[in-house]
Amino acid sequence: MSGVEIIPLCDAVGPMKEPVRKPLPEMFPGAAFAAGEEWVLHFHCYLLRAAGRTVLVDTGIGGAHSPATWAPLPGRLGGALAGAGADPADVDVVVLTHLHSDHAGGAVVDGAPAFPRARYVLQRSETEWASGPVRELILDPLRDRLDVVDGDAEPVPGVRVLHTPGHTPGHQCVEVGDVIMSGDAVLHPVQVADPTITYVYDEDPDLAVRTREDLLARAVVLAPSHFPEPFVPLR
């Protein structure tokens, strides 16, 4: 893993709530799920220690006032960080894979950046796309601490961000050696078996399929956000 330590952090486990909750056959059209089968998601973030710096990939759901009202609130990222021997003030860089509230809801606490020393890495196209509560409650409070990138970048030696659009316009993954933290580019194990299976909440399903195919061809180990397992060997 290129000398980079990767620690998975479980923020929550549970199904979606209304109004976004749907049975799995509606979430992933064309996949072979039983009628009415429910999706129980795991919400993973990842802590990286690289080149003397601490990097957090995604910030989870957040607290009781998070805009992620459809997710199992509140998230427990703080306890998971403490269990890994880290404090919010230790984090140098936060990479947000995208601005959906279950990935970025924990980036802000009481209107201020939750990781006070960190720079927050986002794709420019994501910052331009975000709207509504996510912009008001998450993006705007981070504006003075943003590192906005256009395409692939290396915010810390050994840690690369890859622009992987489709789920959202500025979705990005994080690559460390042969491991890719895939955010929502790959949401469910059925998409590993068949990457052409689309997801109902992808902004651009066709582009998401092409991105997913490229990602699965590139990665040796997948570190997904919502699988039960935090690491999935692909070959």
In a domain, 91, yes or no: yes
In a domain, 234, yes or no: no
Give the domain extent around 147. 5-29+38-229
Residue indicated by tokens 């059209």: 29
pLDDT tens-digit series, residues 103-148: 999 999 999 999 999 999 999 999 999 999 999 999 999 999 999 9
pLDDT tens-digit series, residues 162-185: 999 999 999 999 999 999 999 999
In CATH, what number is assigned to the domain containing residue 139? 3.60.15.10
Q: What are the residue ranges of helices labelled H in 34-99? A: 77-83
The answer to whether 62 and 27 are in contact (CB under 8 A) is no
In a domain, 235, yes or no: no
Confidence (pLDDT) at 1: 43
The answer to whether 197 and 184 are in contact (CB under 8 A) is no
Based on the structure, what is the number of domains in the chain? 1
CA dist 99 and 171 (Å) reads: 8
In a domain, 95, yes or no: yes
CA distances 23 to 104, 199, 228, Å, are 24, 12, 18
Residue 1's identity, in one-letter code, is M
φ, ψ of residue 55 to 5 degrees: the values are -120, 135
In a domain, 213, yes or no: yes
Residue 55's identity, in one-letter code, is V
In a domain, 78, yes or no: yes
CA distances 171 to 63, 81, 111, 228, Å, are 23, 24, 24, 21
